[in-house]
Structure formats: C-alpha cells, structure tokens
Structure 1
Amino acid sequence: MRVGAFLRRLPLPLYAVLAMSSADAAPKLAPYGSWASPISSDAIVADSLKLGQIAIDGQAIYWVEGRPAEAGRNVLMRRRADGLLDEMTPAGFNVRTGAHEYGGGSFTVAGDIAYFANFKDQALYLQPPDGPPQAFVGEPGARFADAVVDAPRARLIAVREAHPADGAEPVNTLVAIGLEGEHTIRTLVSGADFHSSPKLSPDGRQLAWLSWRHPNMPWDGTVLSVGQFDDDGFVTGVVTVAGGADESVFQPAWSPDGELVYASDRSGWWNLYGWRAGKSRLIVKAEAEFGEPQWEFGMSRYGFTPDGLIIAAPIRNGVAGLVAIDLKTGHQREIATPFREIKELRVGDGFIAFLGGSPAEARSLVRLDLKTGQFEILRRGSSLKVDDGYLSSAQPIVFPTTDGLSAHAFFYPATNRAFAGPKGEKPPLIVLSHGGPTSQATPTFNPTIQFWTSRGFAVVDVNYGGSSGYGRDYRRRLNGRWGVVDIDDCVNAAQYLVAQGRVDGARLAIRGGSAGGYTTLGALAFRPGVFKAGASYYGVGDLEVLARDTHKFESRYLDSLIGPYPEAKALYQARSPVHAVAQIDSAVILFQGLDDKVVPPNQSQLMFDAVKRRGRPVAYVPFAGEGHGFRAAAAIKRSLEAELYFYGRVLGFTPADALQPLAIENLPAD
C-alpha cells in the first residue's frame, strides 16, 4: 500500500506554559547566573522547529520545517484549504538543497504537485498530493535550487550548480528540465558566476533573473536581466533592466498585468521600482528596506494580490512592518500586526502567509486574512511559552561608537520573578555578535536568549555596523573594516551598559556563530581586558585559511570585507585572531560541526591549539554530523549546557542546573 494513504494529520503544537513559583512569592536572593530557571535546554529543543521556505498554491500553503528532534531533517508540509496539515515527505527524505551551501529555494509547487531537492543525493523528486516521492531527475555533482514551473512548455526552470569531478570551481547556470519523457536538461542562461531568481512573466513569454560576478556578493551588486523565449524555448534578446557592480537588486517579481517590480538599493535603501517595455519608474521611495541580503535562494519580502496591490514587509530601523501599496500611486497603507520580524512573505488570493516573530512569539508560520486583518498562527517555531515573570523583553538602544557614529542593539535585562541578585551586585553581560556579518538581530522572542536572562545574565544583541535593516551606508560600514568596526561596536555596546550601571564590567562575555564567531574571537584577541570569556560557534580564527578553503559563494567575500587575497596578505594576518593569541587573557570555548563546509573544522582546531599553548582556559566541543549551524536537538542541548557550565567555572558562580562536566584546559584548580 502506498505511503501517501497514511499521510499524518498534524495538530498545531500546544504551548508549554512554564512557571516555577507563585507571583506573590518574595524573590530569593542568589548570585546572578545561579538562578534556577524553568527554561531548560530540554524545553528549548522540545517541539522546536526551524521554519523556512513558504509557497502558496491556490488556497493551500506549503512550507519547509527543520526538526531538531529528527536530527535536523527538513520536511515539506502542507496546510490544506480545509485547515488540515499534511506531512508531505516521509522519513528518509530531507528537503534541502546544497546549492551555495546555505540552500533555500529547495522546492516549488504548482497544481498540487511539488518538486523538491533531497539533501542526501541532491536529486530532484516529484511529490504528488497523496503518494510517496517519485525520483525525477539528478546529475552527478549537480545541485538544483530556486525552481519555477514553466507550464506552457512543460518544464521546470531552475538554478543548477554543477560541481566538476576534478574539484574545479562549480558552474552556475539557469536550466530547463523537461517534465515529461526523459526530463531532458537544457541550459538557458550562463556566463555569470552566479544566477538566481528566475521569474516567468504572466503571459509566459519573458524570463527575468538576477546574476552577479566575483568578487561581489548579491548585496554588493547584481544585474537584473530580462529575455524573450524563442519558438524552441531558449532565451534570446536579453536586456539589462537594472543593477551593476555597485547596485544590488533584490527579488524580481511580475505584477498580474505584466510590470516587472524589483527592489534596488541605488538610493541608499532597497526601494521598489517597476519596469515595463524598456522603461523604469520609482514606485516607493522611503528610508526603509524592501530587500535583504540574499544569503539563500527564494527570499521574498513582497508579492501581489490578484488585482495588483503590493503587499510588502519593509524594514525600518531594524524592525519589520507590513504595508499594502497601490502599484499606480505608490501610496502605502499600514497593516497592523504584533510581528516585528517578517520573512518569506507570500501573497495568495485574499490572504498572505509569512514567517513572523514578535517579542512574545518565536518565529512562526502565520496566515493573515487581507480583508479582516485577522491572523492565525499555523505552526510555531517553538512551543515554549514563558510566563511573564521570566520573560525578558527586548529594549532597543542606540549607543555611541567609534568615529563619532552611533550603532544599534537590543538589550535584555536579567529577569526571573523567583530570584533577585545580592545587594550591590550587578548581572554579568553576554554580548551577542550575529553572523553574516550582514545579518540582523531582531526583537523576536528567542528561547536561547531567555535561557540566559532567566538565569541571571543580561544580554545585548548587537546590530554592529555592517548589519542589514538600516540602509546601505550602515551595511557598508564593514567594507574593508571587518574585524574593526564589528569588534568596536560590540565592545562599545558593553561599555555603554557598564557606564549606565546596568551590568558588571568585570564579568563581560561575548558569544557568536560563524562571522559572529570571528567577531567573538577578534574581540578577545584585539581588545584584551574587556571580556572575561568568549564562546565561538563555528567561528573564523584564520582569515587566510578561510580565503583559501571555503565554498564558491563566499570565496571572494573577503575581498570587500578585508581586501583582495593574496595582495592584502599582511592585513589578513593582522586581522586573524589566531596570530594574536598572545594577547588573549580571557577564557575561550569553541563549538564546531565536523561536517561544516562554510567554516571548516580546522578553524576551531587551530584556535583551540593556539589558546591551549598560550596557557589560557580553553575548551573545544566538536559535533560529528553537524554542519554550519547546529540542527540536531542533541547538539543544541549539549552546546547550551556546556556553555553555561563554562561560564560558571570562569565567571565564578554555580549554575542551578545539573550539568555534564566539561574538560577545560588550563583552568586553575578551585
């Protein structure tokens, strides 16, 4: 009997309501960091989901959800028009493409048929509405992403990233894949280093797409092109619509009546423009971002209603909102919601779907009725609901930083209604340095932040110069100055809070992953004496190693952040924490996935060995089977608990949790 006959009907996850004491109980005095918290590592990983790509087909909503409880497996889900939820892909399938290593755009759907990339073999599969996946097409060394169904020609159009067997740089093209017969693959667009975002015009006669070349990243400069289909389905008559080496174009999208809409940062902000018959026009001019760094395929911040209204999620001062835009006049109407982070916005007939996060709600899948303005949460990223007595709310701060500038952050005070710190004692502070480094900290409820604040830590989540959400000039502060601006801003955020008397200046810690891991290690090496401890998650210690040993998508990223390599070899060495270990006077813990292709494991190993030789307290926690960003519940749980144990030993408090001991080299005996 077919697997499809037993598709699970999944209920919405129930909230786990956490409480430990009555609201009337007097708080107990205890050292900061040692507070007992209901927000355990088990509670964080239980029923947690990593929600991703969304698609709409009629009244049905499809999405991908990553499940830490299933070793990070990504599952294709569907919410039917009748409200029931289907798990579309069975065990053994992982809906994830390896293109660009970061993936995205892993499936497309039309007429109840989905096509998805399976992570294990990187082949494409066809998923019918009520049966098991069917093998569709695959090529040795090829990865597919960002597909769209070209129904008039019975084919898919997709990005193909072909990895040669000899280890040469992968080749990225746009290809057509036949839906019938032998599923023949034909190249439609080639020549650039990267291609993305293929979009068919409503009449099916034109194809729009983005492309860019080394050393640019897509937020540096991209080109938006449009071509016509000839009688054989090949692309001809290609014209450039917008973009270039110094102009980033984001998310081409055709309106129902055939105008090509796109976001360009030519004004200093990703504003909306339209193009038709060779002529461009400005639709919306605002100090707001209608685009974001294209780290993954298929990202979306706007779409069209059937009558041509644009529904968009602009970001202003680092916080997202929701607006309806008249395509002809550019007039905007705010759509009120509690969500301050909005991603993956898709527009259907009378409704929209998006990933939304608020200060009280983790990133969740939301359906909003455009007529009534009412919304429904279809899938929660976390079933964890924290009692208000343990919930630390984000407080936006603007603080002075280097060169007379200001930078942005969200501050979370230590919060636990059952405990208070001893008189005269201030809480330790954890400074968060996000990844990217063009990513963005948001005020969305984050269980990991609450893990720390409910134990007596204050946390500041820093949007250092280089972060997105504040315009192009802010994003470009990091150009040529990575390892300077980001570190200065993290240090200055901490010192600003110390000066305000809100945290203990003698117990400052810094933590971050990926690029944030580099900032963490750099802060310890280049600003000694500021931080007592640091936690690097798959961070970069040696910039030269990264420049020589990373994947194609980011292989020239450091050209803009540091300088061309090897011409700027001396600067790479000067900015590499591994060469400044002699200056580190802090304790360091390193976490690393051994299957990481973005920041290879040798980076953490090099730093561990160097700090160990230096004689400073250091620990290294590797995870087999994990890549860039931990996906399995066991790795997430272990890393959180190990970090807490580490802080307890080096900052001088005893956690209330029962924690597995951790080997820490060079730690003085108690």
Structure 2
Amino acid sequence: MQTSAYGSWATPITADLVVAGAVRVLGAHADGDAVVWAERRPGEGGRTQLVRRDADGTCTDLLPEGHNARTAVHEYGGGDWWVRDGVLWYANWEDQRLYRLADGEPVPLTPEPERPRADRFADGDVHGDVLVAVRERHTGDEVRNEVVRLAAHRPAEPEVLVSGPDFVAAPRFSPDGGALAWVSWQHPSMPWDDTVLTVRDLRSGEDTVVAGGPGESVAEPRWTPDGRLYFLSDRTGWWNLYRWSPGGEVEPVVVLDAEIGMPAWQLGSARYVPLPDGRIVFARWSGGYDGLAVAEPGGPVTDFGLPFSAIDSVRPDGDGVLVVAGTPTEEPGVHRVSATGEVQTLRAPRDPGFDPAYVSVPEPISFPSGDRVAHGLFYAPANPEFTAPEGERPPLLVVIHGGPTAQAVPVLSLGVQYWTSRGFAVVDVNYGGSSGFGRAYREQLRDAWGVVDVDDCLAAAAHLAGQGRVDGRKLLIRGGSAGGFTTLAALAREDTPFAAGTDLFGVADLEVLARDTHKFESRYLDRLIGPYPAARDVYVERSPISHVDSFRRPLLVLQGAEDQVVPPNQSELIVEALRARDVPVAYVLFEGEQHGFRRAENIRRALRAELDFYSQILGFPLPPGEGGEITLSGGTRQEPLR
C-alpha cells in the first residue's frame, strides 16, 4: 500500500470510465417473447436509443440515426415510448412529434405544429387501433396539458378528450376499451401534493372521481383484466396500493409504513404489477433502501430478499415481472423476476473492469438536526492501493440531491466512486423534504426551503466530523438544480463550515425563478417558500444572491446553456456578483446541454473541472495528466481554512 494524502489517490475510476458508466437503462417493457428497453448514451450525444432483446438473446438497436426517444413534456419527460405486439410508439426529441415504428422507417403520427416542438407527447396507452397520450401544447405564452386520442396506426389529427386541468397524466384504457382513467392536478399543487384520479365511461361520457383531492396524492392507475382499477395513494401518509371496482368502493390492497410510490417528476412511472393469480409484486422504499416484495391476495406481504436497493420500474412479464434495478455494488440492469423471486438477468449491469475493493458501499445514517432527525447515505473512502498518512482524516463531500422532492439513491454510481476511490468521504443527504420517508417527512420542507435543507446538510457534516470520520476543516458541498440552491444558501452564511462548493445549474435568485421558469414548476415555490408576490420578502431573504456579502468561500458553477428549468441567468447572476466582490469563482457553460449533462465530452469535462477545483482549494496533488481544467478568478476575500 502506498501512503498519500486523501484526494490524491490514483484510481482506475477515471472521468472516462464515469462517462462509459453513464450509459443508463431508463425503463423496460415486455412484448411477447421480446423485451424492449431504453438506453441513454452519452457517446451518441446523450440520445436515448431503444433496444429489443429477442427470445434467443439477440439485441437490436431500433431507432435509426437522428431519432431520440425523449419527450419534453414537463421538461423532465418520462413516458417517452411504449410498445405493443411488435409496434413501437415514441416521442422524438428533435421535433417532439409522436412516431410509430413497426417494419421499416419510423412514421410520424401527429401533424407538424405551427411552431417547432410546440406539440409534445408522452405517457401513452393503446387499445386496438386507438391511442391516447398526454399532449403538452405551447401556443404563445400559453401551455395546455391535455389527454388526446388518435389513430394508433396512421397519421391523424389528435382529438382532445380531457382538457381544463392544469396537468394530466397516466391516461389508461380499461380492458374492453370502454373506459379511460387518468390523473390530474391543479396549480399550485405538484403531483406529490394533491391529485385526482378520474374514470370516464367513453360511451356515456360520464366521469367518476375515484380518489384524491386536497391532502392526497394518487398515481399510477392500472387496470386488470377483470375490470378493476388499481392505484397508489398516500392517504395514510405513505404511498400504498388500493383497488376500485366500477360501481363499488375503494379498498386497501397493500398498506405499509413504506413508500410504494415515488414523486412524479417524470411521467410513466411503474412501481407495481398485479399478477394473473391475484398476487401483487411491488417495489417499496424503507429506511433509505428500495426492495421488491409480493403480497398474497388478502394475505401477508413477503420481501423477496433480493440484493436490489434501487428499482426504476416494475412491469408485467407473463406470470412474473420485468424490473430495471441495481444494487450498491452494481449499476442498474434489466432483470426478469418470477413470482417466487427467481431472477434472470436480460441486460447485465456493465462490468466496470476494476477490483470491487475500489467500491465504497453506502451506509445509511440518521443524525440529529435541531429537534428533528435527518437521514443520509455515507460513503467512506475506498482504495485497496492507498492509505493516508497516520492521523489524517478524509475531506467530506456533502452531496445534495435535486428536487428538492427527490432522494439519495443507494445504487452503484461511478460518479460517487470517482470521489471515494480518490480518498474523499461522501455523504448524500436525505434532508427534510426528501421522498422515501413518508408524506410527513416530505412536507417538512413546506415554507422552509433554504432553511430545513441547509440545516440538515450542516448537521450531516457536523455529525460526521464530530464522530472523527472526516476532517472538519475540509468540508465541501455540491448539488445540482435544487441541490445547487442549497449549496449556494449554505455558502452564503457567515458561519458556513464549508471550505468550498460546486453549484450545478442551481438557483441563485428565487424571485427571478418565480417569474422565469417552465409551467410544471411555475407554482412549486408556493409550497416551498410561499405565494408570490405576497411572500416576496421571504423570496428575497432566502435567495443566495441577497447574501453575497457573506460569501467567503470559493465557488465552481457548472451550467447547461439550453436549460429551461433553471435558466443560465441564475448562474450568471451569482458568478457576476461574486466576481464583483473578488470572491474566488469559476464558471463553465456547457453548450448543447439542458437540465443535467448528457453528452460524454461534457460529463468528462465537468468531473475534471470539479476535481481540479477541489485540489486547488485543499492543496492535494493530482495524478499526472489531471489538473489545469479551471482558473479561479478573484480571491482576496477568501478566509483561510479553519
């Protein structure tokens, strides 16, 4: 073993390897004996390719060059494609039109809109020759979200079935095609706040509200062949499973102190499957870890005991289910799970090609934060070839997930191992407001964004430093989107314990964001901060840009040039303000990127810039060939490390 300072350890987990690992499986559907899944490929400009695996194991890319199965509905997408009887339907990123692919070339089903990309489609379902989908139509300053019906096999003008609600999702045909279920919600609610599940008799036009309303989030309606409708609801404080029969009452099916559902940041989620024999296979979050379980009809719930710790989707596949799932030591793959829990891997996780001893396995931790308890995942440094000088403790990288209604996910991420294998400790914080811990925990952030999240991140760092697991003088913080806001808010404190921070497309000015963002999140801040402009004083007080005089620590800002969720002006505001005050700052703008980095060259550049930044701040040497990525401007106001 070699002895070297934390942060300087040589590792096979390079930026190039992280880029290779960024090929991500995004969902899978069974179609007869075949399975189709989506892969996001940074090496192809970040496009999403669809892959079919036939029964003999042969895998075939389905989309021709220039096609990218990705919708811009809600800007976050999801529900980008679906498949039935060998026919594929998908939204194409370039023009956002809906395409059909069977034999030959893709055929557009929807007309070309008056303005490019003005009509966007997602989250569809097919019955016979008819297709329904969510359409998001942009006309001038207005954005309308509707459920539309159109021919499934030929180009046609869509017919509007559902309009009026601010948002709609998950339109699903009943087995006989005579009824349609969908979810809707109104501003200022988000889909994890208050939604409504409605069923329409397509013959009579009569609507029936099945569930939902103030204080209840419903999601994922799914019909069974006998005409019953299953759905998720958090009416007990946890997203659990319920069932409704036309003309009957709603009855609970699976009720646990665990989350079967997830926040609907993206459309097309799938967390449970009713099996033909009446059993239900479902995923559930508990204690910061995901898992797969089965419920007997009217009987007990049994955990399968599989190693999966994060499950992206659960979909039907004969008498079993198809899952996209990963573990703390393996990236997500595509697996078939039988009703008895036997696993067949169809698309294996990529072999990263390095010794497993380089992998840091996350440890769930809970820690006090004021009068509350917060949670996180702690990753200790791991490298079989290096140790630090005696008496040294590792620097800590506090990672803040986006959302803020999202969560830290305990699945192998080379983006995390890039740091731990170099000698960093990492804590991924599930601050109050995160999902996976029930509605009450999620609502801790109501009217408290910029307070509870910051407090919990500070508490996580203090907890680990107090235990002697990290060096309290070498605390770093980083986050993207909402996590970028928390990063800036934590650095904009006179008493900040952090030596530096990295803001990835984060929010600097809440008031500007309230006036300039996309429809899906345009009223999100009503619940997180307060109604605007009535609560304008709070917006100003909570905004990091209002506290630039308190900034003393260096900042790296990474931003996508085409970001519509958090526009580049947010990054430019904070960078210009800090430069004017001579605070050390570096800014990298990535052309061709939206909200998050998808292109191989940009993922690579962002990682190298961040490593170079930390080496300059903490003073550890970099291996040969690394460094020289960024230049910090300013610096006279930086205080020395404590």
* TM-score, length-scaled by structure 1: 0.92
CA distance in 1, matches of 2:384, 2:153: 63
Q: Tell me by how many angstroms 1:607 deviates.
A: 0.8
CA distance in 2, matches of 1:662, 1:524: 20
Name the residue aligned to 2:278: 308
Name the residue aligned to 1:384: 352
Residue 42 of structure 1: which of 4, 13, 16 is its match? 16
Residues 253-288 of structure 1: per-residue CA shift (max 9 Å, x gap): 112322111111111111111111231111122101
CA distance in 2, matches of 1:285, 1:367: 25
CA distance in 1, matches of 2:355, 2:529: 45
**Long gaps (5+) in structure 1:** 1-26
2:250 matches 1:269? no
Task: Check conservation: 2:198, 2:211, Cα contact below 8 A.
Answer: yes
CA distance in 2, matches of 1:591, 1:421: 30
2:105 matches 1:132? yes
CA distance in 2, matches of 1:593, 1:447: 21
Q: Tell me by how many angstroms 1:150 deviates.
A: 2.0
Residue 197 of structure 2: which of 209, 221, 224 is its match? 224
SS in 2 for 1:45: helix
Residues 231-272 of structure 1: per-residue CA shift (max 9 Å, x gap): xxxx71101110012210011111232211111111111111
Task: Check conservation: 1:255, 1:308, Cα contact below 8 A.
Answer: no
CA distance in 2, matches of 1:663, 1:43: 25
2:86 matches 1:103? no
Task: Check conservation: 1:528, 1:585, Cα contact below 8 A.
Answer: no
Name the residue aligned to 2:176: 203
Q: How does 1:395-474 map to 2 (within 5 A)?
A: 395-402=363-370, 404-474=371-441
CA distance in 2, matches of 1:271, 1:196: 19
Name the residue aligned to 2:321: 352
Residues 325-383 of structure 1: per-residue CA shift (max 9 Å, x gap): 22x40521222211111121111103321221111101222222335612315143x54
Q: How does 1:352-371 map to 2 (within 5 A)?
A: 352-371=321-340
CA distance in 2, matches of 1:480, 1:73: 37
Structure 2 residue identity aligned to 1:29: T
Q: Tell me by how many angstroms 1:420 deviates.
A: 1.1
Structure 2 residue identity aligned to 1:519: T
Q: Tell me by how many angstroms 1:182 deviates.
A: 4.7
SS in 2 for 1:195: strand
Q: Tell me by how many angstroms 1:527 deviates.
A: 5.7
Residues 13-32 of structure 1: per-residue CA shift (max 9 Å, x gap): xxxxxxxxxxxxxx211111
CA distance in 1, matches of 2:181, 2:224: 12
Q: How does 1:4-83 map to 2 (within 5 A)?
A: 27-46=1-20, 48-83=22-57
2:133 matches 1:158? yes
Name the residue aligned to 1:9: none
Task: Check conservation: 1:48, 1:383, Cα contact below 8 A.
Answer: no
2:90 matches 1:116? yes
Q: Tell me by how many angstroms 1:589 deviates.
A: 0.2
Name the residue aligned to 1:641: 608
Residues 45-86 of structure 1: per-residue CA shift (max 9 Å, x gap): 126312213222222221211100011011111122222111
Greater CA drift, 72-81 or 214-223: 72-81
2:496 matches 1:519? no
Residues 197-252 of structure 1: per-residue CA shift (max 9 Å, x gap): 0111122221111000000000001000011012xxxx711011100122100111
CA distance 1:653–1:209, change in 2 (3 Å): same
CA distance in 1, matches of 2:275, 2:497: 52
Name the residue aligned to 1:149: 126
CA distance 1:613–1:490, change in 2 (3 Å): same
Structure 2 residue identity aligned to 1:251: E
Q: Tell me by how many angstroms 1:421 deviates.
A: 1.0
Q: Tell me by how many angstroms 1:136 deviates.
A: 2.1
SS in 1 for 2:440: helix
Structure 2 residue identity aligned to 1:353: L
Task: Check conservation: 1:508, 1:530, Cα contact below 8 A.
Answer: yes
Aligned pairs, how many? 632
Name the residue aligned to 1:337: 306
Task: Check conservation: 2:223, 2:229, Cα contact below 8 A.
Answer: yes
Name the residue aligned to 2:362: 394
Structure 1 residue identity aligned to 2:429: V
CA distance in 2, matches of 1:94, 1:353: 23
Task: Check conservation: 2:333, 2:345, Cα contact below 8 A.
Answer: no
Task: Check conservation: 1:49, 1:65, Cα contact below 8 A.
Answer: yes
CA distance in 2, matches of 1:107, 1:601: 30
Greater CA drift, 607-616 or 370-379: 370-379
Structure 2 residue identity aligned to 1:405: R
Task: Check conservation: 1:429, 1:458, Cα contact below 8 A.
Answer: yes
Name the residue aligned to 1:534: 501
Greater CA drift, 44-53 or 481-490: 44-53
Name the residue aligned to 1:319: 289
Greater CA drift, 410-419 or 428-437: 410-419
Identity of aligned residues (%): 47
CA distance in 2, matches of 1:376, 1:451: 26
CA distance 1:482–1:389, change in 2 (3 Å): same
SS in 1 for 2:415: helix
CA distance in 2, matches of 1:427, 1:102: 36
SS in 2 for 1:444: coil
CA distance in 1, matches of 2:558, 2:2: 34
SS in 2 for 1:495: helix
Q: How does 1:269-308 map to 2 (within 5 A)?
A: 269-276=238-245, 277-308=247-278
Task: Check conservation: 1:116, 1:126, Cα contact below 8 A.
Answer: yes
CA distance in 1, matches of 2:560, 2:474: 28
Greater CA drift, 365-374 or 609-618: 365-374
CA distance 1:359–1:602, change in 2 (3 Å): same
SS in 1 for 2:492: helix
Name the residue aligned to 1:572: 539
SS in 1 for 2:579: helix
Greater CA drift, 653-662 or 392-401: 653-662
Task: Check conservation: 2:109, 2:155, Cα contact below 8 A.
Answer: no
CA distance 1:100–1:657, change in 2 (3 Å): farther
Q: How does 1:604-619 map to 2 (within 5 A)?
A: 604-619=571-586
SS in 1 for 2:183: strand
CA distance in 1, matches of 2:503, 2:438: 28
Greater CA drift, 288-297 or 657-666: 657-666
SS in 2 for 1:491: helix
CA distance in 1, matches of 2:157, 2:438: 43
Task: Check conservation: 1:345, 1:354, Cα contact below 8 A.
Answer: yes
Q: Tell me by how many angstroms 1:184 deviates.
A: 3.1
CA distance in 2, matches of 1:119, 1:512: 27
Structure 2 residue identity aligned to 1:259: R
Task: Check conservation: 1:481, 1:562, Cα contact below 8 A.
Answer: yes
Structure 2 residue identity aligned to 1:177: L
